[in-house]
Each structure stands twice: as structure tokens, then as C-alpha cells.
Amino acid sequence: MSGADGVVLVDKTAGMTSHDVVACVRRLAGTRKVGHAGTLDPMATGLLLLGVNRATRLLTYLVGLDKTYRATVRLGQGTVTDDAEGEVTSAPGVRDVEEQALHDAVAGLTGAIEQVPSAVSAIKVDGRRSYARVRAGEEVELAARPVTVHAFEVLATRPATAADGTAVLDVDVEVVCSSGTYVRALARDLGAALGSAGHLTALRRTRVGAFDVAEAASLEAMADGVPMLDTSDVARRVLAARELTEAETAEVRYGRGLAPSGRDGVVAAFAPDGHVVALLTDRGDRARPVLVLDPA
């Protein structure tokens, strides 16, 4: 399988880092050339997209796709990591949260917002990861970033008592958001908006762009073979398509330009037999290859 190319959809289990998953797929696929299109925290489960061999060159176009998550937010406690893996730093608790107040707070975190990422994150501050600075005892304040929360829906609420006796409210939610959105930061900010604190106790990624977790397989299920989506299938799902003639296909395979596609952004160019040959973008009066996947 070491020569196979494609995108692997993994249903990650809790407790593994994204790097752990990449290492497992490298071993199972028999190749070192494996990369991922966006990480999942160790406590999170769900869809992780991996590129194998030449398909790693497509990962750039998968990283920025919108994502859907199912999550549980615990209102009444805050943690250093904004999720259940960190120590509790505040426990104001919650008694009664009116349904309207909860929905108003969720609405305030929906749409185009400025979000301060979780301090325990992989964002670099003066060359060092933010999480490394926090674990070294430093105070880290990250700048707010523009993100878009397309949908933030409350699915259910459950009063509960935390291990330390704090009265809390567990809120099951579904979030559809742009790439770069921290769902655990949403949990933190939801608690703050309600005059309390909040953190994430469960997170599952169910969708990345046009890819659904229902299509994914667990690493255990890959023991007898790693299922891969063909690069042509992936390109059709992610990018606008341009169908080429045989003559245009030959030109593109040599890295030459074509008549403009007339579309904004990157376009996937397909040979008459249906396989993806290159990715093109209009520059002036020509469509130029930005990536040739099937060179002459």
C-alpha cells in the first residue's frame, strides 16, 4: 500500500493526539508521507482528515473548510484549558439558568465574532507555543481573532453536581463554525456571558466541509487495510471543477496555462477520463497551474 495516494477519513477516539493518529496511519499504510488537515484535541473524538503520499498536497485546500461539532458545555466551572483536561480554576456554580437567558447568550456568540483563543493552544507567542508558556507558569494573553459561528444550537440541558460539589448545568450543543474557531473558547465565553464560568466536557467533530464522520473508520478497523478516498473524488468535493479536453490536459501536464476559467479562487481541472490533473487559478488572461498532480 506504500504507493497508494488518497485521503483517509479517521474516526478518532478520545485520548489520542492527532500526531498519534498520523503515526498509526503511517504504519498501517506503509509510508512516511502522511499529514493531517487540522488537529483534534486529545479529549475530542470524531473526524480527522489525513492525506497519504501525493494527496498530502491537497491538504492545504482541506484545512480551511467549515466544521460541525457536537459538544457538552459545563456551566458553573472554569478550567485552565477551557476543557475537562485542565484543573478547575473557578467554580462559581450555576443554580437556575432561564431558557431565554441561555439562548440569548448563545445568540451573542453566533455569527461573525472576535474570539480570544484558549490560552492552552498551539498558537505561537514570540516563537513558543502558548500551551508551553502556560505550563511553564507564564500568564498568556492571546489577541482576539475573527471567526464565524454559522450555527450554535442548544440541544439539551441537564442540572448536575460536579465532583467538588459545585452545582453545574451541562448543556449539549451543536456548533457549525469556520476553521480556526475554538469550541472550548465558546464554552468559556458562554459561561462568562451568563455571569458564571464554563468549560467543555465532551467534543465530537462530525463534519469537515463535504466529509462526514459517517464515512470515517476507526484505526482498529484499518488493521486489514486503510480505506482512502481517491484524490479526484476529494478534489470534486472541495473545489469547483473544470473539464479539460485532451489537448488542454496535455498542456496542463506540462505546466502550461490555458484560457481563463472565469472563476474566483482555485479550480480543479479534470482530464476527459475523470481524473484530476491539476489545480488552476486565473492570473490575468490565463489559467495557470498552482499544482500539477499528474505531470507529463
The separation between the first and the last C-alpha atoms of the chain, rounded to the nearest angstrom, is 24
Q: How far is CA 31 from the centre of its chain?
A: 24
Catalytic residue among 5, 11, 20, 41: 41
Residue 48 one-letter amino acid: L
**At 154, phi and psi to the nearest 5?**
-85, 125
CA distance 172 to 126: 36
Q: Is the backbone of residue 293 left (phi > 0), alpha (psi -120 to 50) or beta? A: alpha
Helix (H) / strand (E) element for 235: namely helix 231-238
Q: What is the DSSP string of 20-60?
A: HHHHHHHHHHT-S-EEESS---TT-EEEEEEEEGGGGGGTH
* Residue 224 annotated to the active site: no
Q: Which residues are catalytic?
A: 41
